[in-house]
Amino acid sequence: MTFDIGQFSGECACGETHKLATREIIIESGAISGFAGLADRLELGDGAVVVCDDNTRFCAERIAEILGRRMHRTRLACLSAKDLHADEHAVALLDGMLPPDAGWLVAAGDGTIHDTTRFVAKERGTPFVAFPTAAAVDAYVSATSAMTWHGYKVTAPAAAPVAVVADTDIFSSAPYRLTASGLGEALGKYTSLADWKVASLVTGEPYCERIASRIGEAADAVRAEMPDIRRGGRDGCERLMYTLLLSGTAMQLCGSSRPASGAEHHLSHLWELEVINPRLGALHGEKVGIGAIIVLERYKDLLKSGALASDRASPVYGGLPTRLLRAKFGDHYGNIVAENTPDPLESVSPDALLAALPEIREIVAGLPDPAALAKQMEDAGCKTTLREIGLGDGILRDSLELSPFVRARLTLQRLSSMLPPRGAAL
């Protein structure tokens, strides 16, 4: 599948000049065989180190063999897959495995390998190439790393890949649970894009209609391909990978994860903090997909309840609920307060929110029906309920109430606390 690397670069009607550090994105059968040619085209030079874990070592060895035919000192850095997370421990381990003369890195694996590699690449000033082995997450092209740092989830600056090589033969054959997780990630774009647009309407936050529309169209295409993806069809899996890489490209172009992460991701991040739930074995995309269904239900309830009606009294904000945050977040309280300083709701004019409500209603009305989307996801083998990831239904209220505070990012869920009545019943 052709990926037009320059489709968003340059001056844009949104008023921004988008810049992309990634120079090539290849999605095709047998793409791994072109590694040496890619290295020559991009003048990456000698001393490649292929980063992998136990599960993706076979891919790393093939890449090293291909590069080794034309380059010297191509080595492997293989991390143990057991209890591997993108955290300070993995960073220290990988950094200690890399030789001083490492010329460039290849991340061969899933999201954890890529987050760790791009973080280390940024710290060392070393270029890296992304080689995703599963269509599981959208961060392969990102210039940030989703890290758990000393127990707290952070989005850290990282190196964007100079190229992405996605071999259909490999990622379409990945364990289906990873692909289903990628579906949850891709379908979460419906709510993230809605939150981005709502924030722009209310505060004037930069928003690119061209990028948003392309991602929305790609999510629609994935939704249409879900039966083929469930059967392991290569065309459908390529469409999914394309959408995930497009989402990652958008993050890089916008300089943040804003186009790809909204209230659905905030739920996932909250559960990962383990302040209202035990440790979960769920994959990132599984949590995001379930989060998207929950947020769709929440937003549709706001619409039905009349909470988004513009004939209501003027919106009011009561300030950061510090007592609640202290009680619920415990040891993470200081990080949460720091994250929310300044409080993004303080920049919201009640009059601006009131004026934006008619368009916000249109945005919510245009979102997919949560029950229909959940049924499609279930048919495609995705997890769709809290119980499937080890959470009880009783956690829903706390999840919706607390999740907006894990990121200082304006979403409709966070704005709903300003609306009289105080939103629909949770």
Closest CA to 293 of 217, 367, 209, 195: 367
Which residues make Cβ contacts (< 8 Å) with residue 303, sequence separation at least 6? 361, 364, 365
| pLDDT bracket for residue 80 (50, 70, 90) | very high
Q: In this predicted structure, what is the pLDDT of residue 185?
A: 98
Bridge pairing between strands 144-149 and 152-157:
antiparallel
Closest CA to 337 of 349, 324, 350: 324
- List Cα–Cα distances, 385 to 367, 369, 375, 391, in angstroms: 19, 16, 11, 9
| pLDDT bracket for residue 421 (50, 70, 90) | low
- The residue-averaged pLDDT of 144-173 equals 91
CATH topology of domain 10-171: Rossmann fold (3.40.50)
Q: In angstroms, rounded to a whole number, what is the distance separating the alpha carbons of residues 343 and 349?
A: 13
Higher pLDDT, 311 or 170: 170
pTM of the model: 0.94
Q: Mean pLDDT lowest for which of 111-120, 122-131, 251-260?
A: 251-260
Asked if residue 380 lies in contact with residue 387, where contact means CB atoms within 8 angstroms, the answer is: no
What are the pLDDT digits (tens) for 391-400?
998 999 999 9
What are the pLDDT digits (tens) for 50-61?
999 999 999 999
In the predicted model, is pLDDT for residue 1 greater than 90? no
Which residues on neighbouring strands pair with residue 108, listed in sequence order?
Answer: 131
Structure tokens at 346: 């303080």
SS3 helix, strand, coil % of the chain, rounded to 5? 55, 10, 35
- CATH class, range 179-418: mainly alpha
Asked if residue 148 lies in contact with residue 273, where contact means CB atoms within 8 angstroms, the answer is: no
The amino acid present at 320, given as its one-letter code, is: L
The amino acid present at 243, given as its one-letter code, is: T
Query: What are the extents of the domains in the chain?
Result: 10-171, 179-418
In the predicted model, is pLDDT for residue 198 greater than 60? yes
Bridge pairing between strands 163-167 and 24-28:
parallel
In the predicted model, is pLDDT for residue 122 greater than 80? yes
- The residue-averaged pLDDT of 284-299 equals 98
Structure tokens at 233: 């069809």
Which residues make Cβ contacts (< 8 Å) with residue 295, sequence separation at least 6? 191, 262, 263, 264, 267, 413
